[in-house]
Structures are given as C-alpha cells and as structure tokens.
C-alpha cells in the first residue's frame, strides 16, 4: 500500500506526542491532523520545542469531519473519552487505534466496575481487537478497531503467555508487581504527581482495584484457555518513563530453566520487539525510547518458583509504539516501520 493519512486525537499528551515522533519518521504515513482541544491554535513546537524545523503543524480542536479525511485515526485520550468518538468514525469507514481503555474489555460491566463510569458504546465492543501483535497478529491485520493494550498489561502478558501456554506454571498463585514512571498517569497536573511528592519515594497504589487487572486476566485466560488467578500491585517510581515488572509464579512439577527458555524461544524467537535472555537481567534504561520489551527469568528450584522480569518504555511499547506496530499490521506495512532507527 502507498502513503496513508493519519490523524491523532489527544496529540499534545505524552502518548500523543510520542505518536507524532514515530509517525514523523514513518515512510508510509503522513500526519494530517493533530487534535488537542486544550492546546488548539498552538504550534507543536511551541509546546514541544524539539519539533522546531521538524514538524510544522498546529494543534486543532477535534472535528469528526476533519478526522474522517484521514485513513486511520489514533485516539490518545484518557479512558472514558474515546467511546463518544469511535462509533461515528467506524460508521464513516475509518480505521481506529484507541490507546485508552474504553474498548479493551469485552464485558461492559467489568469496564463500569473498574473504570467507575458507564460505557456508552457497548455495541462497539464486539468489533474491537485486543492489539497485542505477538499473539493477535492475524486478527489485527483485518481489524477496523484496535484496542491498544495498557502499559502494565503489556509488561505482564507477554512474559507470562508462553509459560502458561506450555503448562510450565500453575494457573493460580501468580504475583505481579509493577513499577512505573509518572508519565503513565498522563500530562494533566496533579499534586500527587508533582516532583516534590514523588521524588525520593516509591509507593503502591490502587492495590486490588487497578483498572488494568481485568485486562490482564482477560488476556491470560484467553491464551491459557483456562481460569488464571493472580495478584497485581502497581507502584509509582520517581522517574519519568519506563515500567519494570516482576512476576512470581509457582512452577509445575519437573519444570526446569531449560523448559522455560525453550518456551520463550518457541513463541518469541522471531518476534521483532521481544528480547529474551536466560542470563541478563532487564533494565529500564535499556528499553526506554524503544518499542522493545526485555525479558529475563530465573528458576528457583528449591522453592519451586519461577521469577520473570520485564522492562518496557510505558510510552512506546506500552502505548504509542505498540499502536504504530498495530497500524503497520492493519495496512500491511513492515511491522517495524517507524519503530527501529
């Protein structure tokens, strides 16, 4: 396919501006409209000076008419806002990639429970494809609406999927502990996210009630074709970007380090953005500003436990990079286009 036109709704936020960075270097995508109601009328470089002489564009107020002149629309808005926009875009024949949480869960009641708001586009949920390329590639290719996974779920699902599929761990008693930089909360101001509040501290939040919990459960149970139970505890780190996830899972009898390594190689040996190592320990600094997920693991044979560690950039593989990876699949481009320098 030749060049496509792209619009971004919520383009001035952290994930939205990462989309601008990636798409500006994409060989087959031309940025058409950048919508950002709170920044409307301002040049991109006025808010983000590094775009000076690189991206000459002005943020605009959202208009469905203007967005529909594009071939694909990315929605990088806080959860709860996309559901009012997506049905009209789909009705008008547009392809959509939603970076928020409005279309990730097939069960609207779960969405309403964890996101604390009514879902007003329930009939659209069945259309949405969960945009995890490593596991849903064929479905994404034919999708009109892709629900981009959350950052925490990406960091947990990709490492857990192979060992669940191969029956190497128990499907209950799994513990997931994730630490995230503060950019994961978005660009809107909050006292709790100010430098003084987060610096030199680490804290857990939304323990047992985080909105990404049902998303992780839905994906893991789909892949395992069985009930999966786990605990998920997110933490806030005093850094700007990056997610570090530690997973502790009970091993099934006789599972070895070699078995775990073989499972990762079976599913990820040819995946362009998954890097697994039996020796190296992942670090956030090794993945930031990239679309990679780094995975390491250790078998604690004495305690029959598997420890898996993963690191991603929450704004790239956890958001904008994975969204472009999905777009590449939807339009039959090279999956790595725009994502590898």
Q: How far apart are CA 6 and CA 279, in angstroms?
A: 41
Q: Output the DSSP codes for 169-209.
A: B-SSSEEEEEEE-GGGG-SS--GGGSHHHHTT--EE-STTT
Which residue, among 314, 282, 313, has the nearest Cα to 295 in the 3D structure? 282
CA 19 to CA 8: how far, in whole Å?
A: 8
Distance (Å, whole) CA 68 – CA 65: 5
The strand ranges marked E within the chain are 4-9, 29-35, 72-75, 95-98, 128-130, 145-147, 174-180, 203-204, 230-236, 243-250, 274-277, 293-300, 305-312
Which of 128, 151, 157, 309 is catalytic? The answer is 151
151 is a catalytic site residue: yes
Asked whether 8 and 96 are in contact (CB, 8 A), the reply is no
- How many whole angstroms separate alpha carbon 238 and alpha carbon 15? 19
Q: Which residues are catalytic?
A: 151
């Amino acid at each position: 396919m030749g060049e496509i036109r792209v619009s971004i709704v919520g383009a001035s936020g952290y994930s939205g501006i990462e989309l601008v960075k990636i798409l500006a270097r994409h060989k087959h995508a031309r940025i058409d409209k950048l919508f950002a109601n709170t920044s409307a009328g301002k040049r991109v470089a006025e808010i983000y000076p590094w775009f000076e002489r690189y991206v000459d564009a002005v943020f605009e107020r959202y208009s469905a008419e203007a967005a529909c002149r594009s071939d694909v629309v990315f929605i990088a808005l806080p959860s709860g806002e996309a559901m009012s926009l997506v049905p009209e875009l789909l009705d008008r024949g547009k392809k959509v990639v939603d970076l928020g949480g409005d279309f990730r869960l097939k069960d609207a009641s779960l969405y309403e429970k964890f996101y604390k708001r009514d879902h007003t586009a329930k009939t659209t949920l069945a259309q949405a494809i969960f945009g995890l390329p490593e596991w849903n590639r064929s479905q994404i290719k034919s999708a009109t609406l892709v629900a981009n996974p959350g950052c925490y779920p990406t960091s947990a699902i990709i490492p857990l999927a192979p060992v669940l599929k191969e029956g190497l761990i128990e499907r209950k008693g799994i513990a997931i502990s994730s630490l995230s930089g503060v950019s994961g909360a978005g660009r809107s101001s909050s006292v709790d996210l100010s430098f003084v509040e987060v610096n030199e501290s680490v804290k857990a939040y939304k323990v047992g009630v985080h909105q990404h919990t049902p998303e992780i459960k839905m994906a893991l149970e789909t892949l395992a074709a069985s009930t999966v139970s786990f605990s998920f505890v997110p933490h806030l780190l005093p850094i700007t970007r990056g997610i570090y996830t530690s997973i502790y899972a009970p091993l099934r009898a006789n599972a070895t380090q070699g078995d775990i390594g073989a499972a990762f190689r079976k599913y990820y040996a040819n995946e362009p953005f998954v890097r697994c190592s039996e020796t190296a320990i992942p670090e956030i600094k090794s993945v930031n500003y990239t679309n990679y997920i780094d995975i390491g693991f250790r078998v604690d044979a004495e305690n029959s436990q598997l420890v898996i560690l993963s690191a991603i950039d929450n704004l790239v593989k956890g958001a904008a990079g994975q969204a472009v990876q999905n777009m590449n699949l939807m339009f039959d481009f090279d999956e790595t286009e725009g994502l590898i320098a």
